[in-house]
Amino acid sequence: MKFFVDTADTAEIRELAETGLLDGVTTNPSLIHKAGRDFLEVTKEIAGLVPGPVSAEVVALDHKEMMREAEVLRKIADNVCIKVPLTLDGLKTCKALTEDGTMVNVTLCFSANQALLAAKAGATFISPFVGRHDDNGFDGMELIRDIRLIYDNYAYDTQILVASIRHSVHVLESAKIGADVATMPPAVIKGLVKHVLTDKGIEGFLADWAKTGQSIG
């Protein structure tokens, strides 16, 4: 399973990239606003921090203008993945860009039928938003299960990129279902390593080691 970080904060991305556990980055207009940086400049910096895909989202709603924005974004770096919304114009843009060899992440997916359309449009990634789905009284993980089943039925290559992840159980369930990618806020990635018994175990081992009076090397 690939791990992407869902942020435009370059300090957080750098720290996680140094662990060797990071496979890519996703951003969206809200995360760019939060970072308070110039969109093109911060995307270029992020693309230099990770070798994997860096999603950068278009903001136009019509196909022609989406293509123009995508042209600007894809020139930033080879690992920039163009993010388009799940609309007919977004899907048309996805088809045109992927046929041209550009990676595309189709975002704001809230139904399995939408995910089916994205796969037919040749999307590299589909981003179902599990957290926002849950927030609105639906079952986010059920959506991931349905998309996995449909993509496997037809051997679609589109990768399921679980987005809007809020906590570690979303990650666990996504991995059990066989989602390809999880994009997580930095705190969720860092939280995955934590276990009270790991901390307690280290404490006990170090206390006993101190009693031996030894050192290594």
Catalytic residues: 83
Per-residue b or e along 107-145, where b marks 16 or more CB atoms closer than 10 Å to that residue's CB: bbbbebebbbbbbebbbbbbbbbbbebbeeeeebbebbb
Cβ-based nearer residue to ligand E4P, 126 or 211: 126
| Contact status: 124 vs ligand E4P (CB under 6 A) | no
Judged by CB under 6 A, which of 8, 25, 26, 147 binds ligand E4P?
A: 26
Q: Tell me the HSE value of 73 on the side-chain side, using a 13 A CA sphere.
A: 30
| Contact status: 127 vs ligand E4P (CB under 6 A) | yes
Count CB-CB contacts under 10 A for residue 207.
Answer: 9
In the bound complex, what is the minimum distance in angstroms from residue 107's beta carbon to ligand E4P? 6
Judged by CB under 6 A, which of 98, 124, 174, 183 binds ligand E4P?
A: 183
Which segment (12-20, 64-72, 124-132, 189-197) binds ligand E4P by CB under 6 A?
124-132
Cβ-based nearer residue to ligand E4P, 121 or 163: 163
In the bound complex, what is the minimum distance in angstroms from residue 213's beta carbon to ligand E4P? 50
CA dist list (Å): 85 to 92, 100, 107, 155, 172: 11, 19, 5, 23, 26
Which two three-digit tokens encode residue 106? 């189709």
Task: Please work out the total of residues on this chain that contact ligand E4P, with binding judged by CB under 6 A.
Answer: 11
Name 82's bridge partners: 56, 104
**C-alpha–C-alpha distance, residues 197 and 78, integer Å:** 43
Q: Which residues within the stretch 68-107 sit at the binding site for ligand E4P (CB under 6 A)?
A: 107
| Contact status: 158 vs ligand E4P (CB under 6 A) | no
The DSSP secondary-structure symbol of 143 reads H
**C-alpha–C-alpha distance, residues 197 and 199, integer Å:** 5
**C-alpha–C-alpha distance, residues 114 and 66, integer Å:** 19
| Contact status: 163 vs ligand E4P (CB under 6 A) | yes
Cβ-based nearer residue to ligand E4P, 52 or 131: 131
Cβ-based nearer residue to ligand E4P, 1 or 202: 1
Q: Are 34 and 211 in contact (CB under 8 A)?
A: no
| Contact status: 118 vs ligand E4P (CB under 6 A) | no
| Contact status: 129 vs ligand E4P (CB under 6 A) | yes
Binding interface with ligand E4P (CB under 6 A): 6, 26, 28, 107, 127, 129, 131-132, 163-164, 183
